[in-house]
Structure 1
Amino acid sequence: MIQPTIGRIDSHAHVFTLDLPMVAGRRYTPAQNAPLSAYLAHLDALGCTHGVLIQPSFLGSDNSFMLQAIAQAAPRLRGVACVTPDISLPELEALDRSGIVGIRLNVIDGTQPDLNTAAWQDLLEKIKSFSWHVEVHCRSNKLSSILVPLLRKQINVVVDHFGRPSDCNHSRDYGFQQLLEWGHSGLVWCKISAVYRTCAHADEGHKFLADTVPKLVDNLGRERLMWGSDWPHTQYEQQINPEYLTAQLNILLQDETLAHAVLWDTPAKFFKFV
């Protein structure tokens, strides 16, 4: 176990079991169960005191399994839900009481919602009233079409997994460079997570992390960055192990001030643990 000197938050993970009803037309079907008990053991092994659960895309807008997990492990967990734009105010209020702190738009390979429609605009107003955020998971070349209407509404936005640049060379990825520019808006946060979804080899991933985080600090500020394990590493279950995550964490821990910010201060406030 990595012993934390402060509280430590894993800001990105999923829980599910294979017998849950999964949506038709999903991008993939997970290969193995990811129950709450295994996730809590994962947190303990990494020295994490808290975690943030993200609704998996293949479960659609049925957030019930995640909500049960949050209730069982409260107050250790928070959640980010997937919802449809016609969700009612009482339903949102119930989610808020259950530890949900935002909604996720996962359009990595799917249909992009038209956020300018009346239904979405109404939902975004409700999101603001709850002081929630919108979490965006898409490839870097799609970031602009999603972030621009959200920022126009003054919505707090969390960008998943470094913005999913096309390869390990962030300097030639236009979407990632845009993310750095949006960082100056004060409305954009970024998750330092899932490097392996951009860089196939561990050594490349560690270099990407070491090279990219200073750029994010310079443009977003350490107060808008947070680390996530991306457990259980869906589609990469066989490649990623605890040693990989420990190596990534150790890169961050080399800078004590940065580590304190991205592992506790920022996510603790943003996800309403404090």
Structure 2
Amino acid sequence: MNQTAIGRIDSHAHVFTLALPMVAGRRYTPAQSAPLANYLAHLDGLGCTHGVLIQPSFLGCDNSFMLKAIAQTVPRLRGVACVAPTITLPELEAMDRAGIVGIRLNIIDGTQPDLQSTAWQNLFEKIKALNWHVELHCHSNKLNPVIATLLKHEIRVVVDHFGRPSDSIPTRDYGFQQLLEWGRSGLIWCKLSAVYRMNATTAEDHKFFAAAIPLLLENLGSHRLMWGSDWPHTQYEQQINPVYLATQLNILLQDKQLAQALLWDTPAKLFRFI
């Protein structure tokens, strides 16, 4: 598992503590804290030089804890924030200077904002002006209309967790097949992460991981794919361990050129480490 290139990036993780104020009506409450020190140890254990923090849904639009974590580790971490559509350009510019490189639309619970509203349309123009991306977390059967809306603004779209397919065989999942079609636009990136959120067995997880990657490579290319650990595996803390992650990394590392692209070249450019 030794990749000796310039670096190795974990493209998806969260940091938080249970003491932080959490939003009402949240989809779930985490079982345990995920402090920065633990995440840095996690990175070291995987041989990762850099990481990308994603604002967790239960903290809403208060990105302050993540921003402090990034500030404490400059230049090792970048961040993807959750924001209200009414946020101002000066506020976004301050976040940009602090290491934020995109925003996340977390609509996995089925609650979709009115992306056609004036406030959201104005926000997307600000995102484009900052050269940020929009990260999309939703089930595969809901991807199509959201991606279509975002691409009208020529915004780079990053799809979380293989697009959250519902079928453990990628060729049977219609939403995943649509993701492959969108991949040909050149504006879609995808994270190879959290395959266990399909609720498959560990063996099925690794099988899906290995089967989906060639399809994604064919339609998106290695310059649009990246790997993420999804640490601390919220809601699956007891199921996922370093051995599980190492197994997936080793699948990638069998091809050194592919590993170089997915673990450094692509995420380093997208998340502005270089």
Q: Same fold (TM over 0.5)?
A: yes
Which deviates more from structure 2 when the two are superposed, residues 43-52 or residues 166-175? 166-175
Aligned residue number for residue 255 of structure 2? 255
CA contact (8 A) 2:102 2:134 kept: yes
CA contact (8 A) 1:226 1:266 kept: yes
**Following the alignment from structure 2 to structure 1, what is the Cα–Cα distance between the partners of residues 28 and 239?**
17
**Following the alignment from structure 1 to structure 2, what is the Cα–Cα distance between the partners of residues 25 and 81?**
19
Aligned residue number for residue 113 of structure 1? 113
Aligned residue number for residue 125 of structure 2? 125
Answer yes or no: is 1:4 the counterpart of 2:10.
no
**Following the alignment from structure 1 to structure 2, what is the Cα–Cα distance between the partners of residues 133 and 59?**
20
TM-superposed CA distance for 1:24, in Å, is 0.2
**Following the alignment from structure 2 to structure 1, what is the Cα–Cα distance between the partners of residues 247 and 173?**
25
TM-score (norm 2): 0.98
**Following the alignment from structure 2 to structure 1, what is the Cα–Cα distance between the partners of residues 3 and 36?**
22
Structure 1 residues 187-237: Cα deviation after superposition (integer angstroms, max 9, x where no partner): 000000001112521111111111100000000000000000000000000
CA contact (8 A) 1:167 1:199 kept: no
Aligned residue number for residue 74 of structure 1? 74
Alignment of 1:175-194 (within 5 A): 175-194=175-194
**Following the alignment from structure 2 to structure 1, what is the Cα–Cα distance between the partners of residues 26 and 146?**
21
Aligned length: 273
CA contact (8 A) 1:186 1:220 kept: yes
Structure 1 residues 34-60: Cα deviation after superposition (integer angstroms, max 9, x where no partner): 000000000000000000000000000
Answer yes or no: is 1:219 the counterpart of 2:219.
yes
Aligned residue number for residue 24 of structure 1? 24
Aligned residue number for residue 234 of structure 2? 234
The DSSP-based 3-state class of the residue aligned with 1:185 is coil
Give the counterpart letter for 1:172 in structure 2. Answer: R
Go from structure 1 to structure 2 and tell me whether the alpha carbon gap of 1:213 and 1:199 turns closer, same or farther (over 3 Å shift). Answer: farther
% identical aligned pairs: 74
TM-superposed CA distance for 1:111, in Å, is 1.4
Aligned residue number for residue 207 of structure 2? 207
**Following the alignment from structure 1 to structure 2, what is the Cα–Cα distance between the partners of residues 218 and 230?**
24
Q: RMSD of aligned C-alpha atoms?
A: 0.8
Give the counterpart letter for 2:187 in structure 1. Answer: L
**Following the alignment from structure 1 to structure 2, what is the Cα–Cα distance between the partners of residues 64 and 54?**
12
- Consecutive unaligned residues of structure 1, counting only runs of 5 or more, are none
**Following the alignment from structure 2 to structure 1, what is the Cα–Cα distance between the partners of residues 154 and 139?**
22
**Following the alignment from structure 2 to structure 1, what is the Cα–Cα distance between the partners of residues 2 and 15?**
24
The DSSP-based 3-state class of the residue aligned with 1:236 is coil
CA contact (8 A) 2:3 2:253 kept: no
The DSSP-based 3-state class of the residue aligned with 1:28 is coil
**Following the alignment from structure 1 to structure 2, what is the Cα–Cα distance between the partners of residues 233 and 269?**
25
Give the counterpart letter for 1:255 in structure 2. Answer: D
Give the counterpart letter for 2:261 in structure 1. Answer: A
CA contact (8 A) 1:135 1:158 kept: yes
Give the counterpart letter for 2:22 in structure 1. Answer: M
TM-score (norm 1): 0.98
CA contact (8 A) 2:162 2:191 kept: yes
The DSSP-based 3-state class of the residue aligned with 2:93 is helix
CA contact (8 A) 1:4 1:48 kept: no
- Consecutive unaligned residues of structure 2, counting only runs of 5 or more, are none
Answer yes or no: is 1:92 the counterpart of 2:92.
yes
Give the counterpart letter for 1:246 in structure 2. Answer: A
Give the counterpart letter for 1:135 in structure 2. Answer: E
CA contact (8 A) 2:12 2:228 kept: yes
Structure 1 residues 117-160: Cα deviation after superposition (integer angstroms, max 9, x where no partner): 11111100000000000000000011012111001111100000
TM superposition outliers: structure 1 runs of 4+ over 4 Å: none
TM-superposed CA distance for 1:169, in Å, is 1.2
